[in-house]
Amino acid sequence: MTVNEPASTLDTDIMEVNMGPQHPSTHGVLRLKLKIDGETVVGCEPIIGYLHRGTEKLCESLSYPMVEPITDRLDYVCAMSENLGYMGAVEKLCGISVPERADFVRVIMVELNRIASHLLWLGTHALDIGAMTVFLYCFREREMILDLFEEFCGARLTYNAFRIGGLLEDLPPGWTGRCRQFLKVYPACQKEYEDLLTKNRIWLKRTKGIGVISGEEAVEIGLTGPSLRGSGVGYDVRKAHPYSVYKRFEFDVPTGENGDTYDRYLVRMEEMRQSLRIIEQALDTLPEGPIRAKVPNWLKPLKGEVYHSVESPRGEQGFYIVSDGTDKPYRMRFRGPSFANLQALPQLCVGHLVADVVALIGTLDIVLGDVDR
């Protein structure tokens, strides 16, 4: 026994903790295998697949219009974006051009959905870090958006809102007025969240310098969306490969500097404001006219393949369709942003404390429906 080496007598073990699939803060059925030394995380292994429903294979046995309800259920928090992406892919495949009014309405819906999705993210992220009230405020405002959606398409979560070639129904009378009402009310609500969080010293301590990822690393992993832009890479599908009518609207793509949790928080908060700007412009310039192009009832695209991606609130949501000339897709592939973003988690976690892991799950903003598909 040597007196000089007290470390050898202090033997510590690395403990393995299962976080999830049932855990208050894993947002669905994510399971994390954490290796912790005391409270410091030394290893993290996400285990996915608890929500696997085989949607890609399922789509091969469904005709093109039938796939839309399936896309609702991929990333159920922003079903409008999924709908838009799928519609865009099919319309690209069949060479259908959508009437202008339908495009405008779609953009309004998707941007409203972006706000709703970010509200859900903010609420759960803050709840994970312990700010319970923000969660309920966020849901209060999200409810207003969901009411608008219910009025437009009849559903509050799985919208199935668009149809190939345009829309099923036009905006109900008075809808634009109510939408403008929301635009007027909302900024004050967002200020409330910012009052509760942005400068709060506990919030700053919990988010600044946590989960730093550099822009290069983020690109290598394949991060997209606000998680990538928080690291200073200004890649936004709406700007990089404009789809629908996004070219006509003026909006900024906010980026962070440090690539930490706080910057990603700021980026998302700013994105909500930009979405408001887009909706306002779209409402101002909303053209009159038809809402649906002529589309055959039984859609049979020519042989070929197509990839179309949209900027969902979580990142680049891609749809890859291979058609063999029948009324059903030969192969359907979804590129989910949550799946790619989740890959960053093990790297972000290491070296932080257990309490930070929940903050990091929150900041990546994953939706398990999109990860497992």
Query: What is the footprint of another protein within residues 287-306 (CB under 8 A)?
Result: 297
The CB density around residue 154, as the number of other CB atoms within 10 Å, is 12
Phi, psi dihedral angles at 90 (to 5 degrees): -65, -40
Nearest approach, Cβ of 349 to another protein (angstroms)? 13
Query: What is the footprint of another protein within residues 111-130 (CB under 8 A)?
Result: 126-130
Residue of 14, 47, 66, 350 that binds another protein (CB under 8 A): 66
Nearest approach, Cβ of 218 to another protein (angstroms)? 24
d(CA 292, CA 162): 10
Residue of 42, 51, 183, 196 that binds another protein (CB under 8 A): 196
Residue of 33, 35, 160, 306 that binds another protein (CB under 8 A): 160
Q: Is 42 in the site for another protein (CB under 8 A)?
A: no
Nearer to another protein, 86 or 243 (CB): 86
Nearer to another protein, 195 or 252 (CB): 195
SS3 210: coil
Nearer to another protein, 23 or 248 (CB): 23
Nearest approach, Cβ of 286 to another protein (angstroms)? 19
Residue of 104, 203, 235, 243 that binds another protein (CB under 8 A): 203
d(CA 366, CA 18): 19
**Structure token digits, residue 101:** 């009014």
Q: Is 137 in the site for another protein (CB under 8 A)?
A: yes
Helix (H) or strand (E) holding 43: strand 40-47
Nearer to another protein, 68 or 370 (CB): 68
Nearest to 56 by CA among 314, 364, 303, 318: 318
Query: Tokens 């954490």, residue?
Result: 34
Interacting span for another protein (CB under 8 A) from 47-55, 149-157, 237-245, 313-321: 149-157
**Structure token digits, residue 136:** 């309920």
Residue of 49, 60, 97, 133 that binds another protein (CB under 8 A): 133
SS3 71: helix
Kindly determine how many residues on this chain lie close enough to bind another protein according to the rule CB under 8 A: 57
Site string for another protein, 314-353 (x = CB under 8 A): ---------------------------------------x
The CB density around residue 327, as the number of other CB atoms within 10 Å, is 15
Query: Tokens 């996400």, residue?
Result: 46
β strands within 217-326, DSSP E: 304-312, 315-323
d(CA 308, CA 300): 18
β strands within 177-296, DSSP E: none
Q: Is 286 in the site for another protein (CB under 8 A)?
A: no
Nearest to 329 by CA among 337, 319, 338: 319
Site residues (vs another protein, CB under 8 A): 15, 17, 23-25, 39, 62, 65-70, 72, 126-133, 136-137, 140, 143, 147, 150-155, 158, 160, 163, 168-169, 172, 192, 195-197, 199-203, 205-206, 297, 353-358
